[in-house]
Amino acid sequence: MPQSRKKSKRSLNRKSSYNLPENGTYALLLMLQRSATIKVGSFNKIFFKKGGYVYVGSARRGLRARVGRHLAKKKKIHWHIDWVTTNRSAKVYKIWVSSVVGAECRLAAAIAEEADEVVRGFGSSDCKCQSHLFYFTSRGRAELVLSKLGLSSYKSWP
C-alpha cells in the first residue's frame, strides 16, 4: 500500500518549486530504488527494473500543482504514472521543464530515441506515442539527454 512518509511531506518545499513556471511540458525524472512489479491500471502487472525513469507530461496551467501531485505519496490514482509514484521504492528526483506547452508527444519521441528501454503503452492511451515513460540505466545519462533537448531542471528535492 502507498505510504505517507516524512520524505514526501517535505518534498515540495516552497524554495524548490519557487521558479517552476505555471505551465509547460515537463519530464519527471524518478528513481526506483528497488526493482518492483507494479500493477498499472488496465495493464496486468509491469516489472520495473531498478534505475531511472523519465515520464513526460504537459500542463496547460497549474504545473506547480501538477508537480506537487506527482510528488504526493497519497492520492487518488488517476494516471498510469500514479501507480509508480505511489510505490514506496519510487522517488521523484528532479523535474525538467520546457516552456513550450503541449509538446509532450514530440518530447516523448525524442527521448524514446535515446532511452535504454521504452515502457510500451505507458501514459499514452490518449495519443499515438509508443510510450510516455522511458527507462535509463544511468541517471546521469537521462539528465544529459534532457538537457540536450533544451529542458531546464528544477532543483532536486531533499
Contacts with Zn ion, residue ranges (CB under 5 A): 105, 124, 127, 129
Of 98, 130, 103, nearest to 117 by C-alpha is 130
Judged by beta carbon, residue 36 or residue 105, the one nearer Zn ion is 105
- Whole-number minimum distance, CB 121 to Zn ion, in Å? 11
Q: What is d(CA 143, CA 74) in angstroms, rounded to the nearest whole number?
A: 27
Judged by beta carbon, residue 19 or residue 125, the one nearer Zn ion is 125
- Whole-number minimum distance, CB 1 to Zn ion, in Å? 30
Judged by beta carbon, residue 127 or residue 144, the one nearer Zn ion is 127
Q: What is d(CA 91, CA 31) in angstroms, rounded to the nearest whole number?
A: 5
Which residues 6+ apart lie within 8 Å of 128 measured at CB? 105
- Whole-number minimum distance, CB 158 to Zn ion, in Å? 32
110 touches 54 (CB < 8 A)? no
Judged by beta carbon, residue 56 or residue 142, the one nearer Zn ion is 56
- Whole-number minimum distance, CB 129 to Zn ion, in Å? 3
